Amino acid sequence: MKLSPAKSIRGSVTVPGDKSISHRSVMLGSIARGTTEIHGFLEGADCLSTISCFRHMGVDIENKNGVVTVHGKGLHGLSAPSVPLDCGNSGTTTRLISGILAAQGFSAVLTGDASIQKRPMGRIITPLSMMGADIKSIHENGCAPLQITGKPLSGICYDSPVASAQVKSAILLAGLYAEGETRVTEPQISRNHTELMLKFFGADIRTEGSTATVRQTPELYGNRITVPGDISSAVYFAAAGMILPNSEVLIKNVGINPTRAGLLTVCKAMGADLTLINQDHSGSEPTADLLVRSSSLHGTVIQGSVIPAMIDELPTVALMACFAQGRTVIKDAAELKVKESNRIALVAENLRAMGADVTETDDGMIIDGGRPLHGASISAHKDHRLAMTFAIAALAAEGSTELQDADCVSISYPDFYTDLKRLVRS
Ligand code: S3P
């Protein structure tokens, strides 16, 4: 795709539903009793993979007029799939479903695309095996495809070596079925959407600091869910608003759960002109509209506990840092290397190709801001977050940019280019 520079970005946009919450609403809806009606479901390829997996396990899921209705089967009502379950590009689908499959009365294979087959699954195989699960990497390389045969499980106390909501959620979902209590402690708090939704669906779950504990649960009960807009999709418009001159953009109804909203803290630290309006704390997931204007950004250090709360936004923050005065250091973010792509290496490579001063480190990047970006021929390497980040970079660069694999935005934001075009002033 050829992308040209923009003068500014102006107007308002409603970003699609949160990807993490959309996945969980289908998963919990499927293993709950009764009906779960999901409003604002993200119709991206990743969440559609989750729907498809549960349909293959006998769950009736309707998707009509913007509402997804899941006719739950109860905790023990899933049936054996007759084909391998295809998780596509989705790590969340693969890891969270593994936790559920570990306790079913059947055997299933989980697989996915080339990227999924390279991502680490040892991080869920280890704790689920400790619970008694029979889960194997078919090629014995610690990656999908996984063969999972349901077994009776027992609760564990697990000290997770990574702050990962996918790992935590896989264990908690298995914990619904496990005898006794299952406890996960993380080095830092990761997103807590699973815990919030499990509670909403009637599970016996509690959290204390970075520890979540669930007890074996007799039944979950379906409920109505309204999915807030995804802050991980909002970040692209927020960044464009900050780095392009004469810009003002209102991003409506964005989820600002504190375990997800590290971006807001970092934007503040960088001097961004970002205001939260219409804050709503009435549901289990808080929301706000984000009003963003052109900003004089300055460098900052991004590290420690804020990292898991903004892990998917870091590629875009690296772009913002190129337009900030001074140095920005991103550290403690080695997890970026095992996302849909190696996001440290590829963000650094693409930003450098556009003229930025970026040094890749073992666990992040060092960016010296202030060098103007120029158009370049770059690739998103089939990573949706790279595609959207570099579409924004192209708007703020001089000259045109050729972006390969631009269409992979369909993973999390199918209408991204349409929404962007509407806001751009050229
Ligand atoms: C997600 C958790 C994060 C995030 C991913 C979605 C989730 O991954 O990067 O896009 O829905 O639980 P990790 O748990 O591996 O950090």
Rounded distance, CA 348 to CA 418, Å? Answer: 27
List pLDDT tens digits, range 397-425.
Answer: 999 999 999 999 999 999 999 999 999 99
Last residue of a domain, one of 175, 193, 226: 226
Looking at residue 144, its pLDDT comes to: 98
Residue 57 has pLDDT above 90, yes or no: yes
- Taking only the tens place, the pLDDT of each residue in 118-154 is 999 999 999 999 999 999 999 999 999 999 999 999 9
pLDDT band at residue 58 under the 50/70/90 scheme: very high
Q: What sign has the CA pseudo-torsion 178, 170, 83, 225?
A: positive
Residue nearest to atom 15 of ligand 1 (CA): 164
Question: Which of 226, 251, 270 finishes a domain?
Answer: 226
pLDDT for residue 361 is more than 90? yes
- Cα 336 to middle of ligand 1, angstroms: 11
Interval 29-58 mean pLDDT:
98
The structure tokens listed for 313 are 């936004």
Tell whether omega for the bond before 5 is within 30 degrees of 0, i.e. cis.
no
Read off the tokens for 79.
């049936």
Residue 18 CB less than 6 A away from ligand 1: no
Does the C-beta of 311 come closer than 6 Å to ligand 1? yes
Write b or e for each residue in 195-233: b if 16 or more Cβ atoms lie within 10 A of its Cβ, otherwise e. bbbbbbbbbebeeeebbbbbbbbebbbbbebbbbbbbbb
CA of 191 to the centre of ligand 1 (A): 8
> For ligand 1, what atom is nearest to the CA of residue 96?
12
pLDDT over 90 at 284, yes or no: no
Domain stops at, among 226, 244, 261 = 226
Q: What is the pLDDT of residues 235-258, one digit of tens each?
A: 999 999 999 999 999 999 999 999
Q: What pLDDT, on the 0 to 100 scale, is given for residue 333?
A: 98
Token digits for 16?
């699609």
> Measured from the CB, is residue 335 less than 6 Å from ligand 1?
yes
Cβ atoms of residues 205 and 284 within 8 Å: no
Same-domain check for residues 270 and 336:
yes
- 111 CB under 6 A from ligand 1? no
pLDDT at 46 over 90: yes
Please state the atom number of ligand 1 nearest to the C-alpha of residue 169. 12
Confidence (pLDDT) at 283: 85
Q: What is the pLDDT of residues 84-96, one digit of tens each?
A: 999 999 999 999 9
CB 61 within 8 A of CB 26: yes
Q: How much is the mean pLDDT over the chain?
A: 98
Kindly give the number of the ligand 1 atom that is closest to the alpha carbon of 20.
11
Which pLDDT belongs to residue 34? 98
pLDDT digits (tens, 9 = 90+) for 288-334: 999 999 999 999 999 999 999 999 999 999 999 999 999 999 999 99
Contact 27, 73 (CB under 8 A): no
pLDDT at 379: 98
Q: How far apart are CA 324 and CA 242, in angstroms?
A: 10
Q: Which residues are catalytic?
A: 312
CATH of the domain at 191: 3.65.10.10
| Same domain? 336 vs 420 | yes
One-character DSSP codes across 181-224:
EEEEE-SS----HHHHHHHHTT--EEEETTEEEEE--S--B--E
What pLDDT sits at residue 241?
A: 98
Whether residue 160 sits in one domain with residue 43: yes
- What's the token pair of residue 194? 């699973």
Q: What is the pLDDT of residues 339-356, one digit of tens each?
A: 999 999 999 999 999 999
The boundaries of the domain holding residue 82 are 19-226
CA 364 to chain CA mean position, Å: 18
Q: 168 and 288: one domain? A: no
Rounded mean pLDDT, 386-396: 98
Kindly state the percentage of the chain with pLDDT values over 70.
100
Say whether 95 counts as a known binding-site residue. no
- Backbone torsion region of residue 274, taken as left when φ is above 0, otherwise alpha when ψ lies between -120 and 50, otherwise beta: beta
Let me know whether 217 and 238 are in one domain. no
Q: How far is CA 166 from CA 214, 351, 359, in A?
A: 16, 29, 29
Q: Tell me, yes or no, whether 222 and 299 share the same domain.
A: no
Nearest alpha-carbon partner for 1 in 394, 351, 374:
394
Residue 313 and residue 262 in contact, taking contact as beta carbons nearer than 8 Å: yes
Same domain, 52 and 151: yes
Select from 18, 20, 87, 342 the residue to mutate for testing ligand 1; criterion: most ligand atoms less than 8 Å from CB. 20
Residues 95 and 208 placed together within one structural domain of the fold: yes
Counting the structural domains of the chain, the total is 2
What is the rounded CA–CA span in Å between residue 133 and residue 126?
9
Residues contacting 349, CB < 8 A, separation 6+:
none
Residue nearest to atom 10 of ligand 1 (CA): 312
pTM for this entry = 0.98
> Is the same domain home to 209 and 353?
no
Structure tokens at 47: 């969440």
- The reported pLDDT for the residue numbered 82 is 98
Do residue 96 and residue 203 come from a single domain?
A: yes
pLDDT at 2: 98
Whether the Cβ atoms of residue 247 and residue 293 lie closer than 8 Å to each other: yes
Same domain? For 293 and 381 the reply is yes
- Å from CA of 87 to ligand 1 middle: 14
191 annotated to a ligand binding site? no
Residues 198 and 332 in one domain: no
